[in-house]
Homo-oligomer: A and B are copies of this chain.
Amino acid sequence: MIVLHPSIIITMDKDRRILDNYYLGIDGDKIVYIGKEKPGEYEELIELPGRMIIPGLIDSHTHVAMTLLRGLKDDADLMEWLQKYILPMEMRLKPEDVYYGALYGIAEMLRSGITTFLDMYYHEIEIAKAVEKAGVRAVLSYGSADVFFNRSPEEEFKIAENFRANLEKLAKEKGAEDRLFFAYGPHSPYGCTKELLEIFRDESRRRNIRIHIHLAETQGEFDDIKKKTGYTPITYLNEIGLLSDRVMAAHVVWVAENEFAILREKGVNVLHNPISNLKLASGVCPVPRMLKEGINVALATDGPASNNRLDMFREMHVAAIIHKGVTRDPKTVPAKTVVEMATINAARALGLEHLVGSIEIGKKADLVVINLKHGPHGTPVHDPYSMIVYALDQSYVESVMVNGRWLYYNREYSTIRFDELRETIQEIRDRLMQEAGIS
């Protein structure tokens, strides 16, 4: 057992206990001790004065390999951005590009305390390899979109199933079955035919597999789906019978009045991406209303091309302020709720609440050590939730443990050669720009 002794532990357990000056014992990959007394026996004791330990943060919706496309024509019209810049680059991505892009994104995530994420992309097995290599935890989905790729629903589903088989094989080979998880990834109501959505509906039920989908992100989608199907997006998926508590729906900005009840009754998990929704001018997700309805809301960064960071501290900050400003209620979405959205709510959304999302005996040791004295923002000391959300930033993250292993310790990576990787990323970007004829 190794024992950590920080000044504060934010548990995010059922009682949301905040523990001052407690000892935290880790054996193998698990938390085995939380107590006021120093355990009698241990292998190593790490004194962490002035440090706060929080549960590993969970980024509940991203496209992690898009670090390669960061900053590619910001401040542009969405369709111009997608069609003239993003897609021409993505078409040219080789599998190994995606691997390196993902590994770089994971390095960025670790620095801001993200230990688990939910992803959707192409060449997704490469992202699985990066997750395995780096030592983090992820739920991975291949972005199925028979409409975009002009394939039959059956063909498109086969690709997803093929990824599932490969992922399961990789996880087994590497003994990483507690770090690599699968979800179906029908891209969106507009990226998939009704037939494909129905296949996912049936297979999700039959095999108890989660579904990761973009839903009701823009007004354009809202209007188009209504025109095509007669239903607004959430209602459309509900009519198909796709919605359940296995569904992890990203964005959910455009919600008709009667659709809050659908989300609540079906137990849909909402993945809230405030920075991306603002930057891409999609709008503001009605989070205060969702919370009032008892809908589970988790926080997410979206991909680094539309953010442009994989940083849950920035995301928590924006989530805490945007809804106050828009609803004109300074008490809505308080700091504690925001930390819940980035930890325990996200664990629940991803179906991993039994493993992660809080610091409790028996759960996986996914921990973030924050040095409150790294800079000026941790002083004066006050409410710790408020400090995390409004005052601190990712630079205060000193060490990160996943599955009982230090992946980032005293600001050094243990599984990633960062400087080398950075050069690789720039080289890939330069090559893609040249091939796509973008200057």
Interface residues of A (CB under 8 A from B): 67-68, 70-72, 74-78, 81, 104, 107-108, 111, 219, 275, 277-284, 307-309, 311, 314, 317-318, 320-322, 324-332, 334-335, 373, 375-377, 379-383, 386-387, 390-391, 393-395, 418, 422, 425-426, 429-430
Give the number of copies in the complex: 2
Min CB–CB distance A376 → chain B (angstroms): 4
- Contact status of A70 and B395, CB under 8 A, knowing A324-B280, A325-B281: no
Bound-state CA distance A275–B322 (Å) is 9
B68 engages A380 (CB within 8 Å): yes
Q: How far is the CA of A75 from the CA of B76 in the complex (A)?
A: 34
Contacts known (A322-B322, A331-B77, A379-B425); A393 close to B393, Cβ less than 8 A: yes
| A334 proximity list for chain B (CB < 8 A) | 74-75
Bound: A422/B375 CA distance, A:
9
| A71 contacts B380, C-beta separation under 8 Å | yes
A325 touches which one: B78, B284, B395, B430 (CB < 8 A)? Answer: B284
Q: Smallest CB-CB separation from A376: which chain B residue?
A: B108
CA distance A325 to B76 in the complex (A): 13
- Ordered by A's residue number, 6 sampled pairs between the chains whose C-beta atoms are within 8 Å are A74-B334, A78-B330, A219-B328, A279-B330, A283-B325, A380-B426
Q: A77-B331, A393-B394 are in contact. Are A277 and B379 (CB under 8 A)?
A: no
Task: Indicate if the CB atoms of B376 and A281 lie closer than 8 Å.
Answer: no
Contact of A376 among B68, B107, B326 (CB under 8 A): B107
With A325-B278, A373-B422, A395-B393 in contact, do A335 and B75 touch (Cβ < 8 Å)? yes
Contacts A70-B380, A382-B71, A390-B309: A279 and B321 contacting too (C-beta < 8 A)?
yes
How far apart are the CA atoms of A426 and B376 in the complex, in Å? 11
A326 to B425 alpha-carbon distance, docked (Å):
34
Taking a contact as CB atoms under 8 Å apart, the answer to whether B321 and A383 are in contact is: no
Q: Is the CB of A282 within 8 A of B325?
A: yes
